């Protein structure tokens, strides 16, 4: 039987693959996520996704390995996971009343080849009050999420609309990922 491995410890990616009724194993890659050679946010997420998948695939060459990396991009600046509550507040103020992109790089490495792609979703936020920002930060929810928010959580109330794949904003463009797995013989 073919083995599918998610090279990520993200609970959101795990939930999404479970939603697709896929049987898989989780083996987090624990790579250094510093990127110096990327020339664009798209290149950065693609390179990180590939590195995550490759770190696991090197030990499981007969398996299908999925690596992914998601970032929020506002005015060409990558907003990763906030390190402090102050940084989270600053990110949410930037996004307030504005549009931004959510990019997820996906790398699928398999015995039958590989698939590398970047999915982009535009997200439009309502104007946020300081009270909304601080109440949200007090939940702790923004601290482990790119751009300091999770669309699938309480920050759903901040989103005016999106253009693109909702699941991409959650952390994995599910339908495209499954289609690419099938294309590779899964």
Question: Measuring CA to CA, which residue among 55, 63, 44 is closest to residue 105?
Answer: 44
Confidence at residue 144, expressed as pLDDT on a 0 to 100 scale: 87
Q: How far apart are CA 35 and CA 73, in angstroms?
A: 15
Q: How far apart are CA 87 and CA 72, in angstroms?
A: 14
Q: How far apart are CA 152 and CA 150, in angstroms?
A: 5
Residue 46: pLDDT over 90:
yes
Q: How far apart are CA 32 and CA 11, in angstroms?
A: 20
CA distances from 87 to 131, 143, 155 (A): 16, 9, 16
Confidence at residue 30, expressed as pLDDT on a 0 to 100 scale: 82
Confidence at residue 98, expressed as pLDDT on a 0 to 100 scale: 98
Q: What are the boundaries of each domain within the chain? A: 4-183
User: Torsion over CA of 165, 168, 174 and 179, rounded to 10 degrees?
Assistant: 70
Select, from the ranges 30-39, 73-82, 166-175, the one with the highest average predicted confidence (pLDDT).
166-175
Q: What percent of the chain is modeled with pLDDT above 70?
A: 98
Confidence at residue 33, expressed as pLDDT on a 0 to 100 scale: 74
Residue 22: pLDDT over 80:
yes
Confidence at residue 90, expressed as pLDDT on a 0 to 100 scale: 98
- Please write the tens of the pLDDT for every residue from 47-95: 999 999 999 999 999 999 999 999 999 999 999 889 999 999 999 999 9
Q: How far apart are CA 166 and CA 65, in angstroms?
A: 23
Q: Which residues are catalytic?
A: 69
- Please write the tens of the pLDDT for every residue from 89-119: 999 999 999 999 999 999 999 999 999 999 9
Q: How far apart are CA 105 and CA 114, in angstroms?
A: 13
Confidence at residue 34, expressed as pLDDT on a 0 to 100 scale: 73
Residue 1: pLDDT over 70:
no
Q: Which CATH architecture has domain 4-183?
A: Alpha-Beta Complex (3.90)
What phi and psi, each to the nearest 5 degrees, are found at residue 5? Answer: -125, 130
pLDDT bin (cut points 50, 70, 90) of residue 2 is confident
Q: Are 117 and 106 in contact (CB under 8 A)?
A: yes
Confidence at residue 32, expressed as pLDDT on a 0 to 100 scale: 76
């Amino acid at each position: 039987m073919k083995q599918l491995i998610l090279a990520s410890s993200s609970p959101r990616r795990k939930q999404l693959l479970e939603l697709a009724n896929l049987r898989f194993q989780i083996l987090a890659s624990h790579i250094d996520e510093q990127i110096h050679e990327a020339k664009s946010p798209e290149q950065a997420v693609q390179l990180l996704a590939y590195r995550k998948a490759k770190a696991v695939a090197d030990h499981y060459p007969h398996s299908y390995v999925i690596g992914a990396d998601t970032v929020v991009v506002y005015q060409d600046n990558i907003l990763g996971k906030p390190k402090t509550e102050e940084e989270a507040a600053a990110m949410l103020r930037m996004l307030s009343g504005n549009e931004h992109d959510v990019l997820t790089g996906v790398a699928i490495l398999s015995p039958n080849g590989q698939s590398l792609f970047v999915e982009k979703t535009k997200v439009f936020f309502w104007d946020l009050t300081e009270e909304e920002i601080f109440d949200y930060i007090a939940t702790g929810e923004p601290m482990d999420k790119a751009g300091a928010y999770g669309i699938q959580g309480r920050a759903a109330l901040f989103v005016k609309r999106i253009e693109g794949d909702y699941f991409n904003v959650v952390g994995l463009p599910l339908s495209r990922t499954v289609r690419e797995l099938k294309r590779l013989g899964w």
